[in-house]
């Protein structure tokens, strides 16, 4: 039996995260109910992996929105945060509910490091490209 391709695994993980978030939004819960634990463990290796995926989704949406605001000349990071929180309220609520989890804190730290590194970079000189 062959293992799935990395892209198949990524799509499967995103789909599961989407379904769990939709379930949480429908029930109003912000913490993962026990009935999802086995599937989350199989797919993500546990809650930490699941939270890291949710964090990745958040930071991807945030970075894309911040980039759009910068393109429009409105590069306010706090405005981007508020806009994305309004667009993805349940995702933000779940991440906030698990703010004390070590795996989530590590994922959030890595994303913040990347964002800080990216925003400090010097613009490329077009003549050097």
Summary mean pLDDT of the chain: 86
Q: Residue range 72-76: average pLDDT?
A: 79
pLDDT band at 1 (very low <50, low <70, confident <90, very high): low
For residue 114, CA distances in Å to 3, 4, 68, 108, 117 come to 31, 29, 18, 10, 5
How far apart are alpha carbons 112 and 106 in whole angstroms?
Answer: 10
The pLDDT tens digits of the residues spanning 104-124 come to 888 888 878 877 776 665 555
For residue 115, CA distances in Å to 6, 62, 77, 90, 97 come to 25, 10, 11, 23, 23
Q: Taking the CB of residue 44, how many other CB atoms lie within 10 A of it?
A: 19
Q: Give the list of residues 6+ apart from residue 27 with CB closer than 8 angstroms, or none.
A: 33
The pLDDT tens digits of the residues spanning 3-13 come to 778 888 899 99
From its phi and psi, is residue 38 left (phi > 0), alpha (psi between -120 and 50) or beta? alpha
Per residue in 73-94, is it b (16+ CB within 10 Å) or e — as a string?
A: eeeeeeebeebbbeebeebbbb
pTM: 0.81
């Amino acid at each position: 039996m062959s293992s799935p391709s990395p892209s198949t695994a990524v799509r499967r993980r995103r789909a599961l995260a989407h379904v769990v978030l939709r379930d949480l939004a429908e029930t109003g819960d912000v913490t993962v109910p026990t009935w999802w634990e086995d599937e989350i463990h199989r797919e993500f290796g546990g809650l930490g992996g699941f939270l890291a995926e949710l964090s990745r989704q958040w930071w991807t949406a945030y970075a894309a929105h911040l980039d759009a605001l910068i393109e429009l000349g409105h590069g306010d990071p706090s405005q981007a945060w508020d806009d994305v929180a309004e667009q993805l309220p349940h995702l933000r609520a779940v991440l906030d509910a698990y703010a004390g989890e070590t795996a989530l804190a590590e994922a959030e730290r890595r994303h913040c490091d990347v964002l800080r590194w990216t925003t400090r970079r010097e613009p490329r000189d077009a003549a050097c490209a």
